[in-house]
Amino acid sequence: MVLQKAECELTDEMCDLRVQRQRISTRCNGYLEQLLQAAKMNGQLPRSLDNRLAAISIHAFI
């Protein structure tokens, strides 16, 4: 039986990538919130819809 030990270190490069992905996610969610708001204004979605929650859900689905 062979056992292996794997270690993973977060380097500065990986942290930069994480921050970049967070920024992209935030920007995407903001754009989705704007689209949902426009749809609500056009009567395509119920006014009671929580734009932020719906945007996060859509982003997670994608």
pLDDT attached to residue 18: 82
Task: Tell the burial category of 47 from Cβ atoms under 10 Å away from its Cβ (0-12, 13-18, 19+).
Answer: exposed
- pLDDT, tens only, 9-24: 656 666 788 888 899 9
Tell me whether residue 16 is in a domain: no
For residue 37, with 0-12 CB atoms within 10 Å meaning exposed, 13-18 middle and 19 or more buried, which class applies? middle
Please tell me the distance from the alpha carbon of residue 54 to that of residue 32, in angstroms, as a whole number: 8
43 domain residue, yes or no: yes
pLDDT of the residue at 31:
95
The rounded mean pLDDT for the chain is 86
Q: In this structure, is residue 42 part of a structural domain?
A: yes
pTM across the whole model: 0.71
**Is 51 a domain residue?**
yes
DSSP 8-state secondary structure symbol assigned to residue 13:
H
**pLDDT surpasses 60 at 42:** yes
